[in-house]
Amino acid sequence: MEDIKAEKLPRHVAIIMDGNGRWAKKRALNRIRGHEEGAESVREIVRVSREIGIPFLTLYAFSEENWKRPGYEIQALMNLLKRFLRSELKEMLTNGIRLQAIGRIHKLPEDVQEELRKTARETSRNRDMVLTLALSYGSRQEILDAIQGIAKGVKAGKISPEDINEELISSGLYTEGMPEPDLLIRTSAEYRVSNFLLWQIAYAEMYFTPTLWPEFRKQEYMEAIREYQRRERRFGATGERGGRET
């Protein structure tokens, strides 16, 4: 961690956690064991993010597409999530971590929604890091929701079509008020964005690794951060700061 430069840290890291199933399969275990081990990686990555001073960490924990999985797997993921929220509350309070969820949260089982509300409420005054769980999340759905909101505003005469700009769209997304991700990580040798934060990652650095999520721990995370710090982030065509990143 010594060679991580504090001044060039990403403000917002977003992660597509992939490969739990393959991790389990390699060991002739069932997929649920893979998710359990994946939850251990979540714990470690949250802890390390806070330690090195990342202000925003967003994890893709359950996609809109994940509803197509077998019922028992969905149930196991929901139980794991609840267990995670309960077991990590103390740590979040000690370490100043605020938890929030983005996505179509109303589609989650009522007990999970309740646990999310409770954790969000109890951690709401924390200021050191925001941990965002994307749940029942799909980026196109998010953009659709934003557009519908704007269309209603236009219909009601509160917004004129000329007022529609990037800021207005950004402020209609679930990530309203958050900085855009600087670094997007995806594990398990899949080189896709899969409907995650499509609008928000326009200028993010991408880091893809073959490591499966249950094996993505501190060392590998530090490698991703180092790689981010090595890359020249070009601000405008000249590579000098001042313009927008390209």
CA distance 167 to 179: 12
Q: Quick check: 50 binds ligand FPP (CB under 6 A)?
A: no
Residues 133-162, one symbol each (x = binds ligand FPP by CB under 6 A, - = not), give: x-----------------------------
Q: Quick check: 35 binds ligand FPP (CB under 6 A)?
A: yes
Stretch that binds ligand FPP, among 31-39, 121-129, 177-185, 221-229 (CB under 6 A): 31-39
Greatest CA separation for the chain? 60
Q: Which segments of the chain does DSSP mark as H helices, in order?
A: 20-26, 31-52, 71-94, 110-122, 139-155, 166-171, 218-230
Residues 165-194, one symbol each (x = binds ligand FPP by CB under 6 A, - = not), give: -----------------------x------
Query: Residue for token digits 């997007």?
Result: 184
Q: Which residue is nearest to ligand FPP (CB)?
A: 21
CA angle 123, 11, 58 (to 5 degrees): 55
Please indicate whether residue 111 is annotated as part of the active site.
no
Tell me the sheet residues that pair with 235: 245
What is the amino acid identity at position 111? D
Please indicate whether residue 66 is annotated as part of the active site.
yes
Work out whether the CA dihedral 100, 101, 107, 110 comes out positive or negative: negative
Closest CB 146 distance from ligand FPP, rounded Å:
24
Tell me the sheet residues that pair with 60: 16, 134
CA distance 130 to 55: 6
Closest CB 39 distance from ligand FPP, rounded Å:
4
Q: Which of 9, 12, 14, 18 binds ligand FPP (CB under 6 A)?
A: 18
> Which amino acids are annotated catalytic?
18, 66
Q: Site residues (CB under 6 A) for ligand FPP?
A: 17-22, 35, 38-39, 42, 61-62, 66, 80-81, 84, 133, 188, 213
